[in-house]
Structure 1
Amino acid sequence: MVQLTTAILVAAAVAPAFSAPTPFEQEAAGGADFIFIPERPPPVNPWEDEMCAQIHRHREVGKRKTIVIVAEGAHDSELNPIRAEYIKDVLTERLGLDTRVTTLGHTQRGGRPCAFDRIFPTLQGINAVEALMEAAPGTPTYMIGIQENKITRVPLVDAVEMTRAVGKAIKEHDFDKALELRGTEFQEMLQTFQALSSFPEESSTLPEKKVMLFCSN
């Protein structure tokens, strides 16, 4: 058996405070070994040691590919920028991985849409038309977004202020506040990722008698 030693380094943009992450982003984050986001920088310095240790642990239990996601504006706890190219060098030099950087641009937007991608934008479009029809002199400009899987109508000024507040909290090293401003869905997705990627080594596999197989047509 040939052991693959490939790592994919994904440079992705940050979603606005009131927008919903696409299913592609959720799937990518769920399969990633390590992520870098501005709202929750690596708690350990040097972070390179923590990242390499986690990736090595995943490889030890049989994972044959490595995915690291780097959000736009990623930095360490001292606000020093974290670049995708630097991470590539770290993975190559320390772990011997053939690492490649992929920037999500048209690749992210050009895939085949799933049900989520079709239904929610349609509902947002309907809501936008309704907002136009209901508008009166003095009505604020709205941003049609998604919160907790519900279409929301937020004044554009408030949405911009919220996004700026996230940036301000990050500059002040108040990362807990930055996460809070991002909303509950953002926090829940982060917690889910941490639970999936940071499993204890001793619980990585089940005894053979406790393994269950599912078969379907």
Structure 2
Amino acid sequence: MNRKRIAVLTSGGDCSGMNATVRAVVRAGLAEGVEVVGILKGYRGLIDGHYEILGTRSVSNMLQRGGTFLQSARCRQMMDEAGQHLAAENLRGLGVDGLVVIGGDGSLRGALALQHLGIRVIGIPASIDNDIPFTDMSLGVDTALNNIIHAVDCLKDTASSHDRTFVVETMGRNCGYLAVMASIASGAEYALIPEVPYAIDDICKNLRRRFEEGRSNSIIMVAEGAGKAQEIADSIKDSIGFETRVMILGHYQRGGSPSAFDRTLAARFGVAAVDALLANDGGKMVGLSYASIKLTNLEQVIHAGRRPIDAVVLKLAATLGI
């Protein structure tokens, strides 16, 4: 009897928890007597035929590491049918019975394309923007939030020492989840996000009023899709003369050792993905729903579009004066 074989790849932007998820896939597979193939550099490696057999030593000491040891890369070939067919044929050539894809929206679209070509695929949502539907939290979000909060806590020390306003830019081209949640958790004065219109003149008036009340420093969080941090800082300085500084957190948010939440979420996602494949399931994404793991059809995930910020979160921010 031939030994079953599954493959796993990480694709798109990296995030903390990817390594922990690959570890969970490998250990869950081996526990069931399944051989696990690691595809290197995402879909590009799948098309180019770059892979390695993963064992317990391959994932040893990976739980606490950020990023992805399998690496990731952009792959335009997976956007056309020829590339998708080549990827599917390569998987068949490897004798793979199923594939686990860890990544964001584009990665899940690639997973769905492979499913349509007869490859059983389970997707795992990994996006620090937390904009993937049918999961309350995506992999890496909690760690990114903790990274932002640590940076803002440090900034508040120097802001209060020099009566400064800091404009802090977070990731979030189309989704302001990180900015608004970090603002709530760090006590920032404003969260500027793509989902909610704002007027810089009103912000300046409120900052001046705060100054007159004796509050001479402030933190303004801005999601990258809501405006350019430097332009916002310049507008504040030109309008009310405050000493204003900018911090663009950039890729700092993606890295670092995953939080306890992301490590346990990774374990749950990875094991659930392997269980689904061994049950001959496919074409689905694992997600977190009210503390339980739930499978949702990839077609449904892709067609649902981006996950909106919960109205309860926006109301909470407004109530707190953010």
In structure 2, how many angstroms separate the alpha carbons of the residues matched to 1:64 and 1:113? 35
Instruction: Please say if residues 7 and 97 of structure 1, whose CA atoms lie closer than 8 Å, have aligned partners that are also in contact.
Output: yes
1:91-138 CA deviation, whole Å, 9 max, x = no partner?
2222333323222333223355443233323322222222322334xx
Instruction: Please say if residues 183 and 191 of structure 2, whose CA atoms lie closer than 8 Å, have aligned partners that are also in contact.
Output: no
1:48-72 CA deviation, whole Å, 9 max, x = no partner?
1211123334444454532222223
In structure 1, how many angstroms separate the alpha carbons of the residues matched to 2:173 and 2:263? 18
| Corresponding residue SS for 1:73 | helix
Residue 301 of structure 2 is aligned to residue 159 of structure 1: yes
Partner of 1:85: 230
Instruction: Please say if residues 174 and 194 of structure 2, whose CA atoms lie closer than 8 Å, have aligned partners that are also in contact.
Output: no
Identical-residue share of aligned pairs (%): 30
Instruction: Please say if residues 88 and 100 of structure 1, whose CA atoms lie closer than 8 Å, have aligned partners that are also in contact.
Output: yes
In structure 2, how many angstroms separate the alpha carbons of the residues matched to 1:132 and 1:15? 33
Paired amino acid for 2:162: L
Partner of 1:71: 223
Residue 243 of structure 2 is aligned to residue 98 of structure 1: yes
Give the alignment partner of residue 38 of structure 1, picking from 194, 198, 215: 194
Give the alignment partner of residue 143 of structure 1, picking from 285, 289, 296: 285
Partner of 2:265: 120
Distance 1:61 1:16, change over 3 A: same
Once the two structures are TM-superposed, the CA of residue 15 in structure 1 deviates from its matched residue by 8.6
Q: 5+ residue gaps in structure 1?
A: 75-81, 167-180, 199-217
In structure 2, how many angstroms separate the alpha carbons of the residues matched to 1:28 and 1:62? 21
Higher relative contact order (CA 8 A, sep 6+): 1
In structure 2, how many angstroms separate the alpha carbons of the residues matched to 1:126 and 1:61? 54
Give the alignment partner of residue 56 of structure 1, picking from 199, 208, 219: 208
In structure 2, how many angstroms separate the alpha carbons of the residues matched to 1:144 and 1:187? 24
Once the two structures are TM-superposed, the CA of residue 196 in structure 1 deviates from its matched residue by 0.8
Partner of 1:26: 181
Partner of 2:313: 189
RMSD across aligned positions (CA): 3.2
Once the two structures are TM-superposed, the CA of residue 195 in structure 1 deviates from its matched residue by 0.9
Once the two structures are TM-superposed, the CA of residue 191 in structure 1 deviates from its matched residue by 1.1
In structure 2, how many angstroms separate the alpha carbons of the residues matched to 1:16 and 1:93? 28
Residue 152 of structure 2 is aligned to residue 7 of structure 1: no
Aligned length in residues: 161
Instruction: Please say if residues 173 and 223 of structure 2, whose CA atoms lie closer than 8 Å, have aligned partners that are also in contact.
Output: no
In structure 1, how many angstroms separate the alpha carbons of the residues matched to 2:291 and 2:222? 25
In structure 2, how many angstroms separate the alpha carbons of the residues matched to 1:191 and 1:100? 28
Normalised TM-score (structure 1): 0.59
Instruction: Please say if residues 167 and 221 of structure 2, whose CA atoms lie closer than 8 Å, have aligned partners that are also in contact.
Output: yes
